[in-house]
């Protein structure tokens, strides 16, 4: 028996990286998954891969900054599988710049994708979860939402907002038996990390080598983060809400 047998989940940003790994793992544990992403090619590919592996998944194109698309993702879960039990607010972007080098458009886009999306998807999902007697929301934050980093002003601000929004939501919706938690990854080997290296003018090899200074001596993998999300979404974390779980190889242990 899978840990999520009979559950229905939405994963945003499911087309690549942490979202792809999470969608696949939740499905492997028995959940029916709505893979939501603005990237149709990536989202359709992960849904197809889940189906090929014997799981249940459907793709929905979703601009997470759109209230209409957020509602459509939830409606797809209800229409296709009968409800919604788990929401993983994972979609995110990163622009590497301090505030002097950051355009207003990049600030607005980062806050919309990283923070407004959590509000929009959760607002659509919570009434459905409440009607089913509860559920679990897992938000993807960042180590830089707990401790700031260089040349990432908008990203740090957005992920700090996700961390505190998680706590506020846990307080507000705990009486409806909806648990809300946040996983905060450190550097994880995803397309976003590789794009970040390009933005900084360094090689991905240099980024990966820097991970050797961490206590566990390596960069994270999408599966590392997906396993943490699975735990927070499962009944094994049934008395856990409002928590911020660092999954960073010990990178912030001394901070």
Catalytic positions: 155
Question: What stretch of H or E contains 166?
Answer: helix 153-173
| Contact status, residue 142 vs residue 187, Cβ threshold 8 Å | no
Taking the C-alpha atoms of residue 54 and residue 68, their distance in angstroms, rounded to an integer, is 31
Q: Which of 240, 225, 234, 178 is nearest to 2 (CA)?
A: 234
Residues 6 or more apart whose CB falls under 8 angstroms from that of 30 comprise 1, 2, 3, 4, 5, 6, 7
How many angstroms from the chain centroid is the CA of residue 186?
13
User: For the CA atoms of 242, 151, 191, 157, what is the dihedral angle to 10 degrees?
Assistant: 20
Radius of gyration, alpha carbons of the chain: 17
Taking the C-alpha atoms of residue 161 and residue 111, their distance in angstroms, rounded to an integer, is 9
């Amino acid at each position: 028996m899978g840990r999520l047998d009979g559950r229905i989940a939405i994963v945003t940003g499911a087309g690549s990286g942490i979202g792809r790994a999470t969608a696949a793992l939740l499905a492997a544990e028995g959940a029916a998954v709505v893979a939501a992403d603005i990237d149709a090619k990536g989202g359709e590919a992960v849904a197809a891969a889940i189906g090929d592996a014997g799981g249940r998944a459907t793709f929905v194109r979703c601009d997470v900054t759109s209230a209409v698309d957020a509602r459509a993702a939830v409606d797809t879960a209800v229409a296709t599988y009968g409800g919604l039990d788990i929401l993983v607010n994972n979609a995110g972007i990163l622009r590497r710049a301090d505030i002097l080098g950051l355009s207003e458009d990049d600030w607005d886009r980062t806050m919309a994708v990283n923070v407004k999306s959590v509000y929009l998807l959760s607002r659509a999902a919570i009434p459905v979860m409440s009607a089913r007697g509860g559920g679990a929301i897992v938000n993807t934050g960042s180590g830089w939402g707990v401790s700031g980093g260089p040349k990432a002003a908008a990203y740090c601000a957005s992920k700090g907002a996700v961390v505190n929004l998680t706590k506020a939501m846990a307080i507000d919706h705990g009486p409806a038996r909806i648990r809300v938690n946040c996983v905060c990854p450190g550097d994880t080997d995803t397309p976003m990390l590789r794009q970040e290296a390009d933005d900084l003018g360094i090689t991905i090899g240099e980024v990966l080598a820097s991970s050797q200074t961490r206590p566990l001596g390596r960069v994270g993998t999408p599966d590392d983060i997906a396993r943490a999300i699975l735990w927070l979404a499962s009944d094994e974390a049934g008395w856990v809400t409002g928590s911020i779980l660092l999954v960073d190889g010990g990178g912030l242990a001394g901070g």
